[in-house]
Amino acid sequence: MKRLSTLLITLAALALLVSACGGSPKARARDMVTYLPEDIGEWELAERTELLSSTITSMGHITLSYEGPDGALAYIVVEAHPSDDAADVAMVTRERGLRLDGLTLEADRAPQQATAQIAQTDRVRYALLHEGDLVVEIDAIAAEGEDPVSDENFAALLDAIRVGLALTAEE
């Protein structure tokens, strides 16, 4: 009986150790961002902000800001969650927020790549992408008085995110 108890405790400790060895959400967010270049089409990386607080360990969060053509600005927000269902909840929450703002989301599909939920106002183009435990939001904001970000420039951002998601999924 003592051997069985020792064996069960050892197996439980081993299971905890193995589960702890998986990539943390912070590491997953960093992995995803490594696949995003400093220049995406006509967009140039201007700033990177990362959630570093040790008190919030259940989510990895990195915001990249890119300066684009005609004074446009794009924010790419990468969130890694502790599980796929936590990412599902985050995605639905972001979709709900955009819908409450009066936006209509449309699916932008690419063969064998993550589907983007996209929306647009007269000045901002949005995209939400979700793959496994990762949720990515793109906010491409035209400069005051300028036309919205072009299809070509927005597509460059979408393509970079889709490539990053695909490469991260392969790890």
164 or 2, which is more confident: 164
Q: What is the mean pLDDT of the chain?
A: 85
Question: Does residue 6 belong to any structural domain of this protein?
Answer: no
Residue 18 forms part of a structural domain: no
pLDDT at residue 153, as a whole number: 96
Statement: residue 137 has pLDDT above 90:
yes
* Global pTM value: 0.80
Residue 3 belongs to some domain of the structure: no
- With respect to residue 103, please indicate whether it lies within any of the assigned structural domains: yes
pLDDT value of position 16: 35
Task: Check pLDDT > 90 for residue 146.
Answer: yes
Interval 86-120: pLDDT, tens: 999 999 999 999 999 999 999 999 888 999 999 99
Is residue 7 in some structural domain? no
Classify residue 138: in a domain, yes or no: yes
Q: Which domain holds residue 71?
A: 23-170
Tell me what pLDDT residue 53 has.
Answer: 66
Q: How many structural domains compose the chain?
A: 1
Tell whether 139 is covered by a domain: yes
Q: Which residues contact 25 (CB under 8 A, 6 or more apart)?
A: 57, 58, 59, 60, 80, 81, 82, 133
Percent of the chain with pLDDT over 70: 84
7 has pLDDT over 50 = no
* Residue 76 main-chain phi, psi, to 5 deg: -115, 115
Nearest-angstrom CA–CA distance, 60 and 35: 16
pLDDT band at residue 3 under the 50/70/90 scheme = low
65 within domain boundaries: yes
Q: Which residue has the higher pLDDT, 1 or 96?
A: 96
What is the pLDDT, as a whole number, of residue 22?
55
The CATH number linked to 143 is 3.40.1000
Instruction: Report the alpha-carbon distance of residue 136 to residue 158 in Å, rounded.
Output: 10
